[in-house]
Amino acid sequence: MSELDGKVAIVTGAGRLRSIGYSTAMALAEKGADLVVTGTGRDPATFPADEKEIGWMDVASTAERVRGLGRRALPLVVDVTDGEQVRMMVDRTVQELGRVDILVNNAAVAIGADRVPIIDVDPDLFRRVVDVKLTGMFLCSKAAIKVMIEQGEGGKIVGVSSVAGKRGTANSLAYNAACFAMVGMTQSLAQELGPHRINVNCVCPSAVDTSRMDHYERDEGWREMSERHPIGRSGTPEEVGGFITYLCTEAASWIHGQSINIDGGMVMEH
């Protein structure tokens, strides 16, 4: 038997082929979990070239690959900032897969016009960046926790923050605010949910080679950013997804309330 046989996991933001969400879903499935994978229903016209080339279909394709590993999979289009859609997500998870054991709060807004000086940040975009990460984490966690407590068998919640939740940088105000707040929410939830045997942790990656980073066009700036890591390179989504999956196993049950840097040594302070 695999370590997560019989477990059901929800991974938000899992529709992109080159992504932490997709890699996490696949790693969880390889450990035996059944999956609910969510996305925003992206317009196929906006897909990167590699996704278009293979006829990628967002969360439907992620679910298909999970099923290819012999696991059940439910793809859903969900706005994690909408409480009704989040409740529907958890209700359908229980109805179709039977339970909820693991929640990975990975949804985030793509890098874009928020990465500018504060005087140029659009207030609506600021709210959107914060809303997806924080309101999304709040609503998804609230709905999943209710089921986990009723089941009485514990659970695992992992948030995907960033080293931007440990160290502030210029021209990144909304993202810094959201990522720092995820670290605080992780600690609060961990204090509250420990007695229910629900582990709550957070991962804080640095630059990971995903389609989100296509914003940098893989130019000289990307190469220099990658080489600034003490280990000399950026990370892979498989590395981050594998670590998230480890945090969802019983082997990690003594790790609780932590926001762990996974960043090639970019940020070494706590």
- In total, the chain counts a number of residues equal to 270
* Within a domain: 50: yes
* Within a domain: 63: yes
* Within a domain: 22: yes
Q: What is the pLDDT of residues 202-215, one digit of tens each?
A: 999 998 988 877 77
Q: State the Cα–Cα distance between residues 203 and 96, nearest whole angstrom.
A: 29
Q: What's the structural domain count of the chain?
A: 1
* Residue 226 belongs to domain spanning: 8-262
* Within a domain: 270: no
pTM of the predicted model as reported, rounded to 2 decimal places: 0.96
pLDDT of residue 227: 87
Helix (H, G, I), strand (E, B) or coil at 60: helix
Closest CA to 94 of 70, 79, 76, 69: 76
* Within a domain: 268: no
pLDDT of residue 111: 86
For the chain, how big is the Rg over CA atoms in Å? 18
* Within a domain: 267: no
* Within a domain: 2: no
Q: Tell me, what CATH number does 258's domain have?
A: 3.40.50.720
pLDDT of residue 6: 96
Q: Which residues are catalytic?
A: 175
| 138, 188 contact by CB (below 8 A) | no
Helix (H, G, I), strand (E, B) or coil at 241: helix
The CB-side HSE value for 35 (13 A sphere, CA atoms) comes to 36
* Within a domain: 181: yes
Q: What is the pLDDT of residues 127-163, one digit of tens each?
A: 999 999 999 999 999 999 999 999 999 999 999 999 9
Closest CA to 61 of 86, 94, 79, 35: 35
